[in-house]
Structure 1
């Protein structure tokens, strides 16, 4: 079973066997509104924790998706650019952006669990 962590930038990462699946939270997609464009990173790209990894644009705004961890992209959700609305429909499921092989598992220690993220959102909304 994977463990899910959250960032203050409203990304989630589900980690299993050293590989993290990354997307934006339900809260983030609700703030964006209807997603009309998604750009995912290419497989093989090295990402830095906190660095830009993907782009999501909605009818309201364009926003970067940041990598919650350092590592190499091992898979991108190739369906998203053709079906960006999936981010609205299932942000914490089929609407994932990319999978990253973690370089340093200890980076997860700085991220929030579900309860901490829910409290963070409640404090900032």
Structure 2
């Protein structure tokens, strides 16, 4: 009878160790999922900020009375709401081919929009080439 009691104690201890390892593994997996989700959310925020900057740059090119006529760049920060710990999104407009009109009478501009997430290391950059009719 004493041998059976000792054996059942061993079985219960092994079962508790396995249960503890399972709990630790599940906790670790949950923490990793939270980190992945947070990183994805931060990347999406930076991408949306870059898209807003790109949209604002296109509006600037469509409505500006005087566009860059040399290789000089226009650099601007996007006004409006920013996240509490994030830098403001910005865009950079540069002329392509020294601002000379193409055969169709269009001047091409390169827009580089930069958006930032909550962390300083999260940055998204979008690039677009836009043609503007030469006046």
TM-score by length of 2: 0.27
Larger radius of gyration between Structure 1 and Structure 2: 2
Higher relative contact order (CA 8 A, sep 6+): 1
TM-score by length of 1: 0.28
Instruction: Point out the structure with the larger helix share.
Output: 2
